[in-house]
Structure 1
């Protein structure tokens, strides 16, 4: 759920928890160490969503912890360097360990949360309004502050310890916090856990802050840590929260898997500047920084100075452009250069949504796979508008991921989609890359005509290089008429495409890594080549408009 500009909370949540945090937590370090910890807008928003409640949940006093009260099972926060993730995580640890982090029913009005009932003499009293959600602490919380390295785990754990030692919570801690764990009232504790502490996994944890999951991978065994902790949380009705910088999509990190998951009960917060802005352009980079840091800027009550961020980013940009863009621009980019910078592709997105009329003249491009890579069909009009068509009763996009279909591309669906597109549009030409699909391409040529369905092999290095260069030129040149529909899957595949050098100054398109698919990009190249060839052959017969403009409120996929 995206915030509006005022971060208005229009859903039920534990407001008592948000007020408790500001009354008990303090700034952990710096010149303002020990001063009250006032939530920044983004911190307020993320906490409000973390404790968002299902409006129809019924509290069971006999089984209060396991009641499925919360709307989100876990959270993910993706923000740039120094935006305030560490102090935020520390504050939530304080809340989960000592504050009203559990749902305790709906108030009739007049009920109170009084800290004195829980051994805290700070004087905090919260009066509930009628119908408001009430909160209570965990009886025996077990919290694991988890990161890949000791230093990373310490960034969060040490901030938590500082909040406890320098604020009103120090009276609640039965002993001095240690370097590895802190004892909590009632037998609870907060542990610091890294990749080396595998023996602690599988415990009956109640809350797990997982820091920098963008570098948690199968190789460093942190994927197993994440899944094991989540199983432990499930048994206790507990929850997890990831905090991370943007990740390298070539590494298949835990953060990436969370972001790409289709689970509806995961709250995600990942502000990103418009993709049309180029990070290598200093003026546009400034706009990117202002956007992703806007909740933490000094002018908005935060601590971030944009000049300092620019200085660090510019220095890192000289040695590692991708890292600079991830760490400070909050963007998901790979470690090597793209065939086409995604910002340039995004700038070719048509400014006004378009719907192509039935019977319009189009060309089609097809690139097929079987069990690993994706299969895609793209279309293009005579005036250079490229789009992903839809098919079937649900108007699904003509891009198929084998993982969504039991591990294999649904060939009958693809076949039906091709027939539907030929029925819907007047297809002047269709270029098809035939490997794995020879029989289907033969059948399409027989049904729709050998002059319209053409076998176009992408494995020919000279022809493929020229076709890729044609599309790249029309993407980057100022006076090009090429536009596209903004298909997000295609944009990602374009960003994934890399150039692999070949003799005589040519290249072929390759994936940065195997998980980073480029099939929709290759299909776009094929489609644009078909359109260019038809134009050269004067094959379009169009004195009529072949599209209509629709207002944005009626846009359809």
Structure 2
């Protein structure tokens, strides 16, 4: 969405037939004017609304300006009947209670918790709810981790794409270059021309020259000129690395697990805020498939939410009933009693033990050297394609949320900060399954007893 089009849409809201009136005899919708139209052009500072406001004199015919008595040079543009367009700074207190019918959010990638932008967005949303108003967002790519309004909106949309929510209130349109799009002089002109669309005021040659400035991080060039939601330099996986490890069959679809397949399992459990996941890796082709994901819902449904431990236990037992499980590693934190029970129940059918003390319990707070070597190997296996995944959308979100860290011995994956809502637990369960697979391939022998598969009762 560009500023000229935003200017047109706001003018239609102000003086045009922006509201539904009725259906005509041909079954087509007929519009009518909004009797109390109040349009806000909002940004962190008033100067950031100028790109839209400066369009009004250029696109409005003189006859329209005279007919509606519009003074298009002012910060508040009045139309007959008290209708108006007003430029405002994103101040939550001064804008509380306004009966806004349409809000244009300019550059909400700058609306962060530190400058009050997030609170203003909450205020604006309440104001729009009172009038069943419309919200139009115009933004560049955000900086991951700043928790800006643009990032919050994108995260909500990605949850919808991942199937974590059933509906989305957004019509989301974004032209973005692929994560691995080159920034070289040879390729950048073509890519910039594709991304800039009808932003004809951008000179491609100048932009490409700017992109060759090595004093600016490459991620910044990609964010501003390729409109890419860039995995920052400290991201554990890039988009291209993760998506490049998606398995495909000759028919173009992933062949998921079949009953009886030999697998290993990895488990990472939470209680209230963190997600809980059980992930399998099929031994014959190294295909990674989430079997269970339990994650705190957004909004009121998340209040006092706790993971359903009975459901998780059933998922573990179902995995042993449906597949031939050769190894099962589970991070012990918060799930000690269940892991003790799983270890006792399945110790004779597992080919390897997680540790000398437990068939299943595997503490990620253990040897830092072992943990970091495992993360380095897991990263390498995804990057070179020796471990594939089935394209699960929630697994992808968690994998791309992970940041690079260091535990004193080597590379590890971590959350961007301990309180971040961007979860990584499903990917962590995949890492734990990878560690189980590695142990099995190194030391595994077929167990003396085979677990009798049976469907669970109750």
TM-score category of the 2 structures, normalised to the smaller one:
0.7 to 0.9
Q: Which of 448, 468, 471 is residue 375 of structure 2 equivalent to? A: 468
Secondary structure of 1:219's aligned partner: helix
Secondary structure of 1:402's aligned partner: coil
Contact 1:350 1:486 in 2 (8 A): yes
Q: Deviations over 1:92-145 (max 9, x none)?
A: 11111111111111111xxxxxxxxxxxxxxxxxxxxx1111111112311111
Secondary structure of 2:266's aligned partner: strand
Contact 2:296 2:306 in 1 (8 A): yes
**What residue in structure 1 maps to residue 318 of structure 2?**
420
Once the 2 structures are TM-superposed, how far is the Cα of residue 271 of structure 1 from its aligned partner?
A: 3.6
Once the 2 structures are TM-superposed, how far is the Cα of residue 469 of structure 1 from its aligned partner?
A: 1.2
**What residue in structure 2 maps to residue 207 of structure 1?**
102
TM-score (norm 1): 0.69
Secondary structure of 1:454's aligned partner: coil
**1:362 aligned onto 2:269:** no
CA RMSD of aligned residues (A): 2.7
CA distance in 2, matches of 1:537, 1:287: 52
**What residue in structure 1 maps to residue 125 of structure 2?**
230
Once the 2 structures are TM-superposed, how far is the Cα of residue 318 of structure 1 from its aligned partner?
A: 4.2
Once the 2 structures are TM-superposed, how far is the Cα of residue 305 of structure 1 from its aligned partner?
A: 5.5
CA distance in 1, matches of 2:27, 2:238: 51
Secondary structure of 1:403's aligned partner: coil
Once the 2 structures are TM-superposed, how far is the Cα of residue 150 of structure 1 from its aligned partner?
A: 1.8
Once the 2 structures are TM-superposed, how far is the Cα of residue 365 of structure 1 from its aligned partner?
A: 0.7
Deviates more, 1:484-493 or 1:438-447: 484-493
**What residue in structure 1 maps to residue 141 of structure 2?**
246
Once the 2 structures are TM-superposed, how far is the Cα of residue 223 of structure 1 from its aligned partner?
A: 2.1
**What residue in structure 1 maps to residue 274 of structure 2?**
373
Structure 1 pair 360–325 and aligned structure 2 pair: CA distance change class (3 A): same
Aligned pair count?
419
Structure 2: state its 5+ residue gaps: 157-164, 351-358, 448-458
**What residue in structure 1 maps to residue 342 of structure 2?**
444
Contact 1:140 1:186 in 2 (8 A): yes
Contact 2:263 2:283 in 1 (8 A): yes
Q: Deviations over 1:287-327 (max 9, x none)?
A: 7646544x437xxxx66665444333343x64233332222
Deviates more, 1:520-529 or 1:354-363: 520-529
TM-score (norm 2): 0.83
Secondary structure of 2:256's aligned partner: strand
Q: Deviations over 1:516-536 (max 9, x none)?
A: 322222222211121122122
Q: Which of 277, 286, 295 is residue 401 of structure 1 equivalent to? A: 295
Once the 2 structures are TM-superposed, how far is the Cα of residue 167 of structure 1 from its aligned partner?
A: 5.4
Secondary structure of 2:431's aligned partner: helix
Contact 1:105 1:133 in 2 (8 A): yes
Contact 2:56 2:72 in 1 (8 A): no
**What residue in structure 1 maps to residue 354 of structure 2?**
none
**1:155 aligned onto 2:62:** no
Structure 1 pair 284–529 and aligned structure 2 pair: CA distance change class (3 A): farther
Once the 2 structures are TM-superposed, how far is the Cα of residue 90 of structure 1 from its aligned partner?
A: 0.9
**What residue in structure 2 maps to residue 342 of structure 1?**
239
Once the 2 structures are TM-superposed, how far is the Cα of residue 439 of structure 1 from its aligned partner?
A: 0.7
Structure 1: state its 5+ residue gaps: 1-83, 109-129, 391-397, 542-557
